[in-house]
Structure 1
Amino acid sequence: MKTQLIDLATQRRSIYALGRNVSASQEDITQLIEDAIKQNPTPFNNQTTRAVILFGASHEKLWDIVIDRLKQEVPDEAAFAKTTAKINAFKAAFGTVLYFTETKTVKAFEDNFPLYADNFQDWSEQAQGGAQFAVWTALAENGLGANLQHYNPLIDDQVRAAFNLPASWKLRAQMDFGSIESPAGDKDFMADSDRFLVFK
């Protein structure tokens, strides 16, 4: 069996030590991310995933928003110092992809296909997972590391205002990416016998 996809999926890891030693252009990275999302399957081809790709000052603005918002939630100064250090590690990356779901599209499909209406929210989340995996793997194939964060819904309003985004775009995740300054550690797996069933 061919294993190129499995090899690339194995290469994709959560990398937290990211930097800006990136040789690819912002334009090439943008095209890579856009293509990965466009080729990701969605139910009924409804294409509910949206993405905002941030570089430079816009990338830093996003993580400043996160720090400012978390300061309201972490009253202890020592704890907030640790939180700030963590967020600054994301800020040190080369860029960020913000993933959104277009809720108007989800609602339209619920209305147009009432037999499946209860599924479209779940299906949009599945599409998100596929898009995020596709982008993450494509970045890894090109020697870039990434990790996925979920500061939504805490930062939703501030992000929408900062980047003038439609109210119908619901923030689902934040993926910072950049040069790999330190590799990921070993990854543990549960027993296959507890995870898979095969019937013949």
Structure 2
Amino acid sequence: MDSALPTRRPRRADARRNFDALVAAAREAFADNGSRASMEDVARRSGVSIATLYRNFPTREDLVEEVHRDEVEQLCLAASGLDGLEPWDALVTWLRRFVDYIGTKLAFADLLNRSADSFQACRKAMREAGAPLLARAQRAGAVRDEVSIDDVLRLVSGISTVEYVDEAQRERVFDVALAGLRAG
């Protein structure tokens, strides 16, 4: 994982457990309520006091940034676990995970955009995680040679931010985008 993604994660085991519980609870609260999720709800879901929450995350932005960083880290780690798949399947599997990541990011995009350094570090980490998958698929002849990882991430990000009639329509649009990446 790219070391450009700093975390506030404490070293002591008990503090680390509280920190991780807060991040997991915040992820759930943001998924359920978007950026309107209250800090009190996050503390309640995590099973720690509001004082512990604020000791770890003095501001809402700090918490949002950590949840985002954690999501990016998980996305990047997922890329490294796909070596056993065929190149095209590995790329598509990772892109589907990327689509899920975009869905969580949309809930608090306004807050994320305020932290340009962290946001840029996360974008860099995602490009670095996806680039080897794309290169492997290109070497296998499965993806068009002229496509860059930046092209692919912008394409998938764009189709992930549109409202769809239903999940089936979103899948059709995603499949059309994937067909545009295929070589031949």
TM-score by length of 2: 0.30
- Identify the structure with the greater helix proportion: 2
Task: Give the structure-1-normalised TM-score.
Answer: 0.28
Q: Which structure is higher in strand share?
A: 1
